[in-house]
Amino acid sequence: MAPLVYVCVRPQQGAAAAEYESFRTGSRLEPGELEQWDLVGEPLPDDAFERWRGFMVGGSPFNVTDPESTKTDVQRRLEADLARIAERAAAGETAALFTCFGIGVVTRTLGGSVTRGYPEDTGPSIVTLTDAGRRDPLFGGLAPAFTVLTAHKEGSATPPPGAMLLATNDGCPVQAYRVGERLYATQFHPEPTTRAFTERMAVYRDDGYFAATDYDRIAGQVLAASVTEPNRILRGFAHTF
């Protein structure tokens, strides 16, 4: 059986390596069961959809809503490659789980809208399952409301036409959705432990997600949070697909 692949879209190599480990351990997969591809450094290979049976797309400091004039050639290329994955997964030709920045690419590609109108504070937040979420194969076994970790400058204002909204909250109403049977997207980060999240915060502490002087306070809130459910989404995805 072909393995799954973690698709890296972070330029910061240390943060990318740690994110891969978070996806792998959160999914309870061995290294050979979850390969990795650095989309920042290399385009998606021509045989991607034969080589891998499914895709887990990590987060990124990039934003879909960045003005096109400010996007680098690398950002434009990797957004186009992610759009290819999204289109194939929406058509049922592969399986994909997009997270963080990735949900914006999926939303825009498939006809929804992305906006800076729903920025999220860095740290723990509560999301609630919708009726569709409670019936969903991956989300249905989760607690009706649970803690997630967020840190974003943009969010989806509306999901793509035909998408099933699975999770929501007041701060950013589109927290997770499914398109068809094999494409999932989450606004929140399903992969890191609280410790791993604070380590990622340290990498991006000067990137405008939070005031750098607030690092210790926010990190304390993160470490005190109980984050149990998001990893179950990863395990469900790996088991199902």
CA–CA dist 106, 123 (Å, integer): 24
Contact 199, 18 (CB under 8 A): yes
Task: Write down the pLDDT at residue 79.
Answer: 97
The confidence score (pLDDT) of residue 1 equals: 79
* Helix or strand run (H / E) with residue 189: none
Domains (range + CATH), the chain: 4-191+228-240 (3.40.50.880)
Residue 119: what pLDDT?
86
pLDDT values of the chain reduced to their tens digit, one per residue, 241 residues: 799 999 999 999 999 999 999 999 999 999 999 999 999 999 999 999 999 999 999 999 999 999 999 999 999 999 999 999 999 999 999 999 999 999 999 999 999 999 999 888 899 999 999 999 999 999 999 999 999 999 989 999 999 999 999 999 999 999 999 999 999 999 999 999 999 999 999 999 999 899 999 999 999 999 999 999 999 999 999 999 9
Q: How far apart are CA 220 and CA 218, in angstroms?
A: 5
Q: Which amino acid is at 190?
A: P
Please, is 199 exposed, middle or buried when counting C-beta atoms within 10 Å of its C-beta (0-12, 13-18, 19+)? middle
